[in-house]
Amino acid sequence: MKPKKNSSFLSKSAPYLLIIYCLAVLLFFLAELKLFGLDEYLRATNQVLILFALLIMPFVIINMPSFIQSLTLKVSDKEFHVQLNELESNFSQTIGRVQQQVSTSEQSFWPILAGEDILAPNRLEGPNPKIIIGAKNDLSQMFFTELLALAITHENPHIKCEIRFPNGDSMHNFAELKYRWLDIYMDYTGTCVQYFNIHHKTENNEIKSPQKLTEELNHYGQGLGIKWLPNLGCSEDYCLVMTPELAESEEITTINDLKTKGAKLTFSADPEFMNRKDCLLGLLDYGVKFKSVLPCSVTDRYSAKESGEAEVFVGYESDPQVTSGEVIILKDTEQFFPRYLAQPLISAAVLKKFPDIEHRLKILHDCMSTEDLNNIVARIGKSNNDPVRAKEEAKKVFKHALEKQH
């Protein structure tokens, strides 16, 4: 019990320590300005001020969660949300979570700083040109890389595809595509439109068609050397989920319900979701407030469910936890989330070099449903995330797509 008493004492003392610190610094400052005759009584060298700060600031920082609940840091266009009240219970774990968010953001800086890959044109030359396929870190993306490789090499086996799975978050893959560190990857409509502040609704609050959004994206893509191709027909929509038992007990069935009931619940999400306008930042503007936000990795989004650390989670509609009924989706009655239809992004330089690749990739248009994707992801998961199984699933889908063409 002693540690708890000490912790309680330090927490209660933190505001007073901060006040004493601020008053002391103010007095030293006024003395340095020789105001109110303080310089006759208070004189401090720079070294003394530094030592004074070093002495007291650790106590303030350690106990900061007792009077400051959260802190948001903004670096470039990325915001990093830190729940300071976690410092009291698990300092090292919180630091790790902050580092994870910063690391996710830093991924997109490298291709921007490095500029265009000067060796990219060489990859496309010779008897065995190489095309690099990027991917995000989830099972559907593992499947998509294999499907893209099959389409690209169909009737052109001399082309070699290098799959990079995983290759970072959406922004990292997009930046690498722009600067030609990779040549193609599969992204989602809802993710891409937010890069250019394209809204998924019209001024009359009507939902734009996938064709219209693709057209708007390619308007920007012309200047970036990127082309969006038609979607595959399947989606991997974002959703907010809860366990059926808790949702029933709290009488929460829609995202809109969280506007009034979310303040007592903890939300768990990966760094990308936390720092996007179409995700958590948009939800906050939408009026959804949570007691706290618990960062997690994209592959470990449900880790806090069993421990009870969080009650609301970010999900994808293809998650096995969703399809099995382990968690339920909160209805998006006001269509806050856009549709996240899977569609390839490819370098215009590749299409210029190999014009027939665009035709082969268009074979994938409407080749599968969301239910198909959910079943495929579930089977890959049951095979212990085996890439060989992902390739087998891709072969079945591509074969079916070819049959539809004929």
> Could you please report the per-residue DSSP string of 176-220?
HHHTTSSSEEEEEHHHHHGGGT--SB-TTSPBPPHHHHHHHHHHH
Hey, what CATH topology would domain 111-234+342-405 get?
D-Maltodextrin-Binding Protein; domain 2 (3.40.190)
Q: Report the C-alpha gap between 236 and 239 in whole angstroms.
A: 9
Cα-based angle 9, 15, 20 (whole degrees, multiple of 5): 110
pLDDT in the model for residue 168: 85
Smallest CA-to-CA distance from 94 within 80, 84, 102, 103 is with 84
Residue 41 has pLDDT above 90, yes or no: no
pLDDT in the model for residue 56: 58
Neighbours of 219 (CB within 10 A): 11
Across the range 22-42, mean pLDDT stands at: 70
For residue 221, give every residue at least 6 positions away whose Cβ sits within 8 Å of its Cβ, in sequence order, or none. 227, 228, 348
Q: Do residues 151 and 184 lie in contact, with contact meaning Cβ atoms separated by under 8 Å?
A: no
Q: How confident is the model at residue 141 (pLDDT cuts 50, 70, 90)?
A: very high
Rounded to the nearest integer, the mean pLDDT of the chain is: 83
Across-strand partners of 237?
A: none
Residue 113 has pLDDT above 50, yes or no: yes
Residue 193 has pLDDT above 90, yes or no: yes
Q: How confident is the model at residue 58 (pLDDT cuts 50, 70, 90)?
A: low
Q: According to the 3-state scheme, what is the secondary structure of 35-59? A: CCCHHHCCCCCHHHHHHHHHHHHHH
pLDDT in the model for residue 19: 75
pLDDT in the model for residue 318: 81
DSSP alpha helices (H): ranges in 108-185?
A: 109-114, 120-123, 139-153, 170-178
Residue 364 has pLDDT above 80, yes or no: yes
- The predicted-structure confidence for 245-254, as pLDDT tens digits, reads as follows 999 999 999 9
pLDDT in the model for residue 98: 45
Query: In this predicted structure, which of 1-5, 57-61, 160-164 has the lowest mean pLDDT?
Result: 1-5
Residue 159 has pLDDT above 80, yes or no: yes
Are β-strands 226-228 and 70-75 bridged in parallel, bridged antiparallel, or unpaired?
Answer: unpaired
Residue 326 has pLDDT above 70, yes or no: yes
Residue 221 has pLDDT above 70, yes or no: yes
For residue 300, give every residue at least 6 positions away whose Cβ sits within 8 Å of its Cβ, in sequence order, or none. none
What is the radius of gyration, based on Cα positions, of the chain? 26
H helix and E strand count, the chain? 19, 12
pLDDT in the model for residue 59: 55
Q: Please, is 52 exposed, middle or buried when counting C-beta atoms within 10 Å of its C-beta (0-12, 13-18, 19+)?
A: middle
pLDDT in the model for residue 20: 74
Query: In this predicted structure, which of 70-74, 202-206, 362-366 has the lowest mean pLDDT?
Result: 70-74
Residue 349 has pLDDT above 60, yes or no: yes
Q: Report the C-alpha gap between 176 and 135 in whole angstroms.
A: 11
Query: In this predicted structure, which of 34-43, 65-74, 322-331, 367-376 has the lowest mean pLDDT?
Result: 65-74
Select 69-107+238-336's CATH number: 3.40.109.10, 3.40.50.300, 3.50.50.60, 3.40.190.120.
Answer: 3.40.190.120
Q: Is the pTM of this model over 0.75?
A: no
Tell me the backbone φ, ψ of residue 336, rounded to 5 degrees. -65, -45
